[in-house]
Amino acid sequence: MAQPTYLTREGLAKHQAELEHFRTTRRQDVAARIQRANSIGGTVDNAEYEEAKKEQAFIEGHILELENIINRSKIIEASKGKSDTVDVGSKVTVLNQSRQKKENYFIVGSPEADPSRGKISNVSPIGKALIGKKIGELAEVKVPAGTINLEILQIK
């Protein structure tokens, strides 16, 4: 059985809206482009037609990808107060021991990961290292530059 795709309620709504946009607007736009290109110069040696067909293939592939994410999704429930163990949906404050700097992470599923905003995937190296840890424990993260030690300070 396939692994679930973890999403927040907002992330699920965003993916559903994107799917609807691709199913309706984008599909219709590319179909109109294909028809227009076909009427202008047929299908042989027609760059516009070829480009529209490639875009159509991309759109259909993206629709399948979004449907797969939505169908396998599992909602990340907001935690009620403090938790004693890091899990998907946890907001974690850690001390990066090599840089002596506090960092905040929100553990989310892959489709919502945005490291620049502190949202890290549960399958990323840092996410994997943090999951299952408790306050005060060290998470060792192996990166190309070596090993990073993250001390868990707070879990919400």
Are the C-beta atoms of residues 29 and 99 closer than 8 Å to each other? no
The 10s digit of each residue's pLDDT in 83-113 is 789 999 999 999 999 899 999 999 999 999 9
Residue partners of 71: CB distance under 8 A and separation at least 6: none
Looking at 3.40.50.1980, 1.10.3720.10, 1.10.287.180, 1.10.10.60, the CATH number of the domain 5-75 comes to: 1.10.287.180
pLDDT-above-90 percentage for the chain: 79
Q: Mean pLDDT of all residues in the chain?
A: 92
pTM (2 d.p.)? 0.80
The 10s digit of each residue's pLDDT in 54-74 is 999 999 999 999 999 999 999
Alpha helix segments (H runs only) across 4-122: 9-21, 27-41, 47-71
H or E element in which residue 46 lies: none
> What confidence category does residue 139 fall into, taking pLDDT thresholds of 50, 70 and 90?
very high
Q: What's the whole-number mean pLDDT along residues 14-31?
A: 97
Domain spans in the chain, listed from the N-terminal domain onward: 5-75, 91-155
**What dotted CATH number matches 91-155?**
3.10.50.30
